[in-house]
Chain A
Amino acid sequence: SQQGEEDPQALSIQEGENATMNCSYKTSINNLQWYRQNSGRGLVHLILIRSNEREKHSGRLRVTLDTSKKSSSLLITASRAADTASYFCATDASGYNKLIFGAGTRLAVHP
């Protein structure tokens, strides 16, 4: 069973708009991570947020974590066509390298 569930499954926006993706999980976690995957490629790490953190920024990315609701969101501001990819959340619940991924959100950014 998957720990994280992303919402929406697919998102289509215009360049310049913001994109928000959500992730819900089931058990307490050590940290939550977001990854990006371009078509046919491996995953690339975007950001890691620990259970005692509420918000993190990295460039145009903003991640929030609400441990009381067991949810996280990834915001991409001023999106570009190059942001078109699948985005996955992954949770480290039991530690020691057992990172569990959700099914992902497919983002399409149209010029």
Chain B
Amino acid sequence: NAGVTQTPKFQVLKTGQSMTLQCAQDMNHEYMSWYRQDPGMGLRLIHYSVGAGITDQGEVPNGYNVSRSTTEDFPLRLLSAAPSQTSVYFCASSYGDRGDTGELFFGEGSRLTVL
């Protein structure tokens, strides 16, 4: 099993450009989520999903969009990139059991720089 796969690993954007970070998992997990990690800030939840067709906002959703059309995929879209979105982005998946969140499996991260 590949686990959680994120692409691209590195990306440089100019202010105002849009792009999509891809995330795929092959563990048949219902739960998927996107975090960003900035120095000294730990991980902050951007958007999350508890199943196909169901998404919700996390702590820092502004400037990002998500959709969940399949169980396997959970892409993160940056609508109009800003320098404040320079960060490392992590996708994670987990099983869910009646609302109890299990252990998260993380991808290796996507490092985004916005100039």
Contact = CB atoms under 8 A, between A and B. Distances in A.
Contacts of B109: 40-42
Interface string B78-115: 00000000000010101010011111111111000000
A97 B56 CA distance: 10
Contacts of A42: 4, 90, 106-109
Interface residues of A, number: 27
Interface string A15-46: 00000000000000011010100001111110
A10 to B, nearest CB: 11
A111 interface: no
Given A30-B99, A42-B90, A98 B105 contact: no
B59 A100 contact: yes
A31 B106 contact: no
Nearest to B43: A101
Contact of A92 (B35, B58, B100, B107): B100
Main secondary structure of the interface of B (DSSP, over half): strand
B77 interface: no
Contacts of B42: 2, 88, 101-104
Contacts of B103: 33, 45, 48
Contact of A96 (B35, B44, B99): B99
A91 B47 CA distance: 16
Given A31-B101, A92-B100, A99 B108 contact: no
A35 B94 CA distance: 14
Nearest to A1: B59
Interface of A: 1-2, 30-31, 33, 35, 40-45, 48, 50, 88, 90, 92, 95-104
Closest 7 pairs (CB-CB, A-B): A95-B99, A42-B106, A45-B103, A103-B42, A97-B31, A101-B43, A92-B101
